[in-house]
Amino acid sequence: MSVAVSEFVLNNQFRRIIRAGLRAYYCARHTFGLKPRSERETDVRLARFTAREQRYRPGRFSFPFGPISYVDGPSLRYQFQEIFVQKCYDFNTAETAPVIIDCGGNVGMSVIRFKQLYPEATVTVIEADPEIAAVLRRNISSLNLTHVSVINAAAWNRDGEVSFNAEHADGGRVDESQSSNRVMAIRLADLINEPVDMLKMDIEGAEYSVIRDLCQSGKVGLVRRLACEIHGRDDKNDRLGDLLSILTAAGLRLTFNFARSAPDMPGNDVPTPFSAVPDGKYLLHLYAWRP
């Protein structure tokens, strides 16, 4: 074995020992009830914690910013990585008190991040699932977040009621193919009567109808920034082209991130002729802003 190969093996072994030692240290701190002090420590604890958790079991977890109630452990870890590690909803503005609308707030991780960035921000959170909206309100109250209001309704293109498929995690969605579970719906366009510094959407496929209505009503002209998780499922993937066209026509610049094939996403299989992506369902993050 050459000297270079020996050094490589030793370095790998050393790194594994260091990682194991850090994991043991983080777990010991957790055992003694101490808050995590870094993103790395939080993620290690979450990974260990959620590995033992059954899906859709509610509980509480302590973050550096405080304890959070949740409805599904694996979803909580995914949201932490996406929102706090990858910073998918961070944005820059000269406003000290920006106006933010958060559609699909779930248990509040995105709200917490917005308030970390801009403590004086006014945040309106829309969450359709009544069970999750109750947890969201508790988290906002326990963390003493101010200037945050919660609307328990589905963001939609009209007021009234809609059929809703409650997934009891982070995948609940408007589903017009069923009629058993009904929730209140609110027309997002009617809420926007002043400039919105940030409009965040994670509404599991309803974004197509909501954004189209914003554009047709002209209210998209009040939106300065948009961050939206796009869900391509079933046989409706062709709507993405229409969505990009109307946003561009409204004067917004567009870019994308976190695009991936999503065979794990709820919905019927969408067969493709490609071995690399046998299922045509996909997720991507769309970012739009006014130059």
Predicted pLDDT at 27: 63
Predicted pLDDT at 6: 54
On whether both 134 and 210 belong to a single domain, the answer is yes
Predicted pLDDT at 249: 97
Segment 262-274 shows an average pLDDT of: 87
On whether both 61 and 190 belong to a single domain, the answer is no
Predicted pLDDT at 204: 87
Buried b (16+ CB within 10 A) or exposed e, 15-46: eeeeeeeeeeebeeebeeeeebeeeebbbbbb
Q: Total structural domains in the chain?
A: 2
198-201 and 225-232 strand pairing = parallel
For 79, residues 6+ apart whose C-beta sits below 8 A from its C-beta are 106, 107, 109, 110, 170
Segment 119-123 shows an average pLDDT of: 98
On whether both 211 and 238 belong to a single domain, the answer is yes
Is residue 74 within 8 A of residue 47, CB to CB? The reply is: no
Domain C-terminal end among 86, 116, 150 = 86
Please state, for a pLDDT cut of 90, what percent of the chain lies above it: 63
On whether both 147 and 240 belong to a single domain, the answer is yes
Predicted pLDDT at 166: 81
Give the domain range for residue 50. Answer: 1-86
Alpha carbon distance 69, 230 (integer Å): 26
Is residue 201 within 8 A of residue 207, CB to CB? The reply is: yes
Q: Does the pLDDT at position 10 exceed 60?
A: no
Predicted pLDDT at 178: 65
DSSP state of 54: P
pLDDT in tens, 16-41: 666 666 666 666 665 656 778 788 88
Is the C-alpha dihedral spanning 131, 137, 140, 145 positive or negative?
positive
On whether both 69 and 110 belong to a single domain, the answer is no
pLDDT in tens, 81-106: 999 999 999 999 999 999 999 999 99
Q: Indicate the length of the chain as a whole number.
A: 291
Domain C-terminal end among 68, 86, 104 = 86
CATH, residue 188: 3.40.50.150
Residue type, 219: K
pLDDT in tens, 203-241: 988 999 999 999 999 999 999 999 999 988 765 556 899
On whether both 253 and 116 belong to a single domain, the answer is yes
On whether both 78 and 129 belong to a single domain, the answer is no
Is residue 182 within 8 A of residue 190, CB to CB? The reply is: no
Mean pLDDT of the chain: 88
On whether both 57 and 124 belong to a single domain, the answer is no
Give the pLDDT band of residue 9 (cuts 50, 70, 90): very low
On whether both 234 and 148 belong to a single domain, the answer is yes
Q: Does the pLDDT at position 78 exceed 60?
A: yes
Assigned token pair, 19:
């990682």
Tell me if residue 203 falls in helix, strand or coil.
coil
Alpha carbon distance 28, 82 (integer Å): 26
Min mean pLDDT across 2-11, 40-49, 118-127, 160-169 is at: 2-11
Assigned token pair, 100:
């933010």
Domain C-terminal end among 64, 86, 108 = 86
On whether both 122 and 34 belong to a single domain, the answer is no
Predicted pLDDT at 212: 96
Please state whether 104 falls in left (phi above 0), alpha (psi between -120 and 50) or beta. left
Alpha carbon distance 205, 135 (integer Å): 23
On whether both 165 and 283 belong to a single domain, the answer is yes
Predicted pLDDT at 43: 85
For 89, residues 6+ apart whose C-beta sits below 8 A from its C-beta are 83, 110, 113, 114, 198, 200, 227
On whether both 148 and 173 belong to a single domain, the answer is yes
pTM of the model: 0.88
Query: Between 137 and 5, whose confidence is greater?
Result: 137
